[in-house]
Amino acid sequence: MNNLAVELNSQLEGTVAYRMFSELGRRMYFPKGIVAQAAEAKQRAHRFNATVGMAYQGGDVMTLPVMRDLTAPLGPSETAAYAPTAGVKELRTRWKTEMERKNPSLHGKPTTLPAVVPGLTAGISLIATLFADTDTVLLLPDLFWGNYRLIFEETRGSRLREFEFFNAEGRFNREGFADGARSAAGAGKLIVLLNFPNNPSGFSPGPEDVQFIVRTLTSLADSVPLMVICDDAYFGLYYTDDTYRQSVFAELADAHPNLLAVKIDGATKEDFVWGFRVGFVTYAYKGITDDHATALEQKTTGAIRAAVSSSSMLSQSLLLHAINHPSYQSQKDQAFEVLRSRFARLQAILERKRDTHRAPSLEALPANSGYFMSFRCHGIESEELRQRLLDKGVGTIAVKNTFLRVAFAGIDEDQLEDLYEVIFQTAEELAS
């Protein structure tokens, strides 16, 4: 094992982060190679800097005139230069400030400085690399984003354990979650993955549900090391008053010294910039010190370096300028209102369908947030329904051949009536 990895491990030994590391995670480190030496030269090489593989002209990054025209008013160093491996420091600091503003319960709770990754998928994959082995168990709801399986099960060989997301009353299945967590914890260290608002259902739990989740996990942490991944891809898109409006990460950040909380979030959906590919990874646990945080950041930076080198400088610069813009929040509020209005229209449509008892083969699952809602199919297969809808020019997503996911966020409000009329009519035809 490299001496730098040994040094980082010694800094973290005795912590939940060290107990949760995969074999690869324990070997990971950030090398004092080209990137580290170039960073040192940036501070000290005041005469000539012949380190980084970038072309310079007249003391600035060399770019094509067409690129300068397309990216004005940003300068070449903000658009074409390599970004630091863990991301632009000012953006990382600004994102942490925003994260605490959006999650008041985080105030005063120490965390690592968010590390930039090229999208939330990359963040989840990085966490799997650092913490998941072939014998690691991952607990998640039965309604989950399919890429989790590719990342944890196929790539890392981990074992997925599912709990039923909703109970018979259409509420968050507290009993199923607790039973699933206790059962999965029997395998040793446990990773729990929470995705709120949920993809594909569009559901977020209420405050009492969140407190139940926290109590359940902190109780388990007394006997087994836990890591809880909060996939906050759709964070902030809450449309009803009964949802918990912070990340569960805010409650878990200092919940227990044997519980490592990880927040994976980003600009993708929060700032309506899906192709920017700017995500963030942040860690916390009760008792984390500055030295622990630094060591975790170095491990993470090493994993980023090994996989993607760094994220896009242009995307990070644009995002930083946007966040610092005086109308940034008001513009986000306006965009949110568009989605909230679509959700309200959707609920009115579904309520009318329930009143007329149409299409009993389609049961709308609880939804209160995010981009999606889903139907549970009764007596018909969701894949066959999806195919029939395609024949009519309508695209939807079949999940497990039982659920049909509809991305209402991608449909203008005045088109929702027509969309759902086609869906219900096609389900009726298929059921008859």
DSSP string computed for 26-90: HH----SSHHHHHHHHHHH--S----SS--EETTEE---HHHHHHHTTS-HHHHTSPPPTT--HH
Q: Give the whole-number percent of the chain exceeding pLDDT 90.
A: 88
Instruction: Examine the pLDDT at 268 and tell me if it is beyond 80.
Output: yes
pLDDT the model gives residue 47: 75
Rounded mean pLDDT, 247-261: 98
The pairing of strands 362-364 and 373-377 is: antiparallel
Torsional class of 272: left (φ above 0), alpha (ψ -120 to 50), beta (otherwise): left
pLDDT the model gives residue 417: 96
**Element containing residue 169 per DSSP (H, E):** none
Output the average pLDDT for the chain: 94
The string of pLDDT tens digits covering residues 110-128 is 999 999 999 999 999 999 9
Interior CA angle at 195 toward 191 and 196, to 5°? 140
Classified by CATH at the fold level, domain 3-30+85-323 comes out as: Aspartate Aminotransferase; domain 2 (3.40.640)
pLDDT the model gives residue 108: 93
Q: For the CA atoms of 16, 22, 23, 24, what is the dihedral angle to 10 degrees?
A: -120
Instruction: Examine the pLDDT at 248 and tell me if it is beyond 80.
Output: yes
pLDDT the model gives residue 360: 84
* Adjacency order of strands within the sheet including 403-406: 362-364, 373-377, 403-406, 397-399
Instruction: Examine the pLDDT at 34 and tell me if it is beyond 90.
Output: no
201 CB burial (10 A radius; 0-12, 13-18, 19+): buried
Fold matches, 3-30+85-323 and 328-431: no
pLDDT the model gives residue 358: 63
Instruction: Examine the pLDDT at 70 and tell me if it is beyond 90.
Output: yes
pLDDT the model gives residue 33: 67
Instruction: Examine the pLDDT at 357 and tell me if it is beyond 70.
Output: no
Query: Collapsing DSSP states into helix, strand and coil, what is residue 117?
Result: strand
**Domains in the chain: boundaries:** 3-30+85-323, 328-431
Instruction: Examine the pLDDT at 12 and tell me if it is beyond 80.
Output: yes
pLDDT the model gives residue 154: 96
Provide the pLDDT confidence category of residue 353 given band limits of 50, 70 and 90.
Answer: confident
pLDDT the model gives residue 355: 73
The string of pLDDT tens digits covering residues 287-330 is 999 999 999 999 999 999 999 999 999 999 999 999 999 999 99
pLDDT the model gives residue 43: 77
Asked if 15 contacts 289 with a C-beta cutoff of 8 angstroms, the reply is no
pLDDT the model gives residue 41: 73
Instruction: Examine the pLDDT at 2 and tell me if it is beyond 70.
Output: yes
Asked if 258 contacts 226 with a C-beta cutoff of 8 angstroms, the reply is yes
Residues paired with 60 in a beta bridge: 57
- Spatial CB neighbours of 295, under 8 Å, sequence gap ≥ 6: 8, 11, 12, 17
Taking the alpha carbons of 7, 10, 11, 17 in that order, is the dihedral positive or negative? positive
Rounded mean pLDDT, 229-235: 97
Instruction: Examine the pLDDT at 98 and tell me if it is beyond 70.
Output: yes
**Element containing residue 182 per DSSP (H, E):** helix 174-185
DSSP string computed for 334-398: HHHHHHHHHHHHHHHHHHHHHHTT--TTEEEPP--BSS-EEEEESSS-HHHHHHHHHHTT---EE
Domain with residues 328-431, CATH architecture: Alpha-Beta Complex (3.90)
Read off the DSSP letter of residue 155: I
CA-nearest of 255, 267, 142 to 193 is 142
pLDDT the model gives residue 188: 83
CA-nearest of 116, 196, 140 to 367 is 196
pLDDT the model gives residue 39: 74
Query: Collapsing DSSP states into helix, strand and coil, what is residue 118?
Result: coil
Q: Give the whole-number percent of the chain exceeding pLDDT 70.
A: 98
Specify the pTM: 0.94
Instruction: Examine the pLDDT at 371 and tell me if it is beyond 90.
Output: yes
Provide the pLDDT confidence category of residue 52 given band limits of 50, 70 and 90.
Answer: confident
